[in-house]
Amino acid sequence: MRGSWLFILLLLFSCRKKDAFENIAVIGHGGMGLEMQNSIYHDNSAEALELALSIDGCNGVELDVQLSADGKLWLYHDPELSSETNGSGCVNSKSSAELNPYHYTTIHKEVLIRLEEFDFHLFKGKKVFLDIRHYNPCTDAFVSQTLITNAILNSGISSVEGIELFIILSRHQWISAFKQAGFQVLFCTSGSTDHQKWAMMYPELDGVVAKNAEITRSQVEELHSIDKKVFIFEMRSPKGIRQGLAKFPDGVITDDIRATLIEKY
């Protein structure tokens, strides 16, 4: 009898948790996550994206994109190629012909890919976040906003039906230009705890992306009250994932999709 009551209580708790977190989107950070040993494949690789999108309950993926010297968008996270690949220098200073031979220095040696190379049909029905890298450390200069906008449009991803596309910016000077180009724009408030300030300064913003440690539930509620979306990232432990979900954002950009789904349901 005692065991039956315990089972019923666990079932009720599970149902309550599912109802509470049901509308929170689960987004794979760079595919299967950054700096996670159980990610299997390197972040921002085709393999990592395909695996993430195949998981039931994964609502989309976040990608880090950088503009090459010949105007193509390449998926890569770090400032310099030498930190993760067999190449050197910066993506922004290399042509596609120079980047083509490069691969990650991981066991699977996943190759670097251009955004346009990925099968966009796998994104259908999903949310896709393009995190724009705007600075070239090799030349100590900003990349052209116009060239990045054109590269996104020329890739074809924005014209595929069934994809909900978001642009993540950390350079606030570009917000208006990307909105005028017709994109949904989120501003990354990393390093700031005054998220509503940015939302008020740029009313055209669709929302913000914030670190889990830098935003509270009340701040999420404040942003929702002015019709702004909120997505939270930097959650690499079950505890951090629970804390992020309990703030009730629109979505969590997680480094562990499977652990997040366990906590969500």
Segments making up each domain of the chain, as ranges: 23-264
Cα end-to-end distance, the chain, whole Å: 26
Q: What is the pLDDT, as a whole number, of residue 91?
A: 98
> What's the pLDDT at 17?
56
What pLDDT does 15 receive? 54
What pLDDT is recorded for position 201?
A: 94
Structure-token match 């005054």, residue found: 194
* DSSP conformation class of 144: P
The reported pLDDT for the residue numbered 39 is 74
Amino acid at 99: L
List C-alpha distances in Å: 85 to 57, 103, 139.
31, 5, 20
φ, ψ dihedrals at 244, nearest 5° = -65, -45
DSSP E strands, the chain: 25-29, 60-67, 73-75, 127-132, 135-136, 141-142, 164-169, 184-188, 207-211, 229-233, 251-254
Fold for the domain defined by 23-264: TIM Barrel (3.20.20)
* Residue 20, pLDDT score: 83
Using H for helix, E for strand and C for coil, what is the string for 209-222?
EEEHHHCCHHHHHH
Beta bridge partners of 104: 85
Q: Which residue has the tokens 């994206």?
A: 49
Q: Is 169 helix (H, G, I), strand (E, B) or coil?
A: strand
Task: Tell me if residue 111 falls in helix, strand or coil.
Answer: strand
Name the 3-class secondary structure at 173. helix
Q: How far apart are CA 90 and CA 87, in angstroms?
A: 9
**Please, are residues 260 and 238 in contact by the beta-carbon 8 Å criterion?**
no
* 11, two tokens: 């079932």
pLDDT at 252: 98
Tokens, residue 246: 């309990």
pLDDT number for residue 19: 64
Closest CA to 209 of 67, 73, 64: 64
Model pTM score: 0.92
Residues in the chain, pLDDT under 70: 1-19, 36-38
φ and ψ of 102, to 5 deg: -80, 145
- 8 A C-beta contact, residue 68 and residue 94: yes
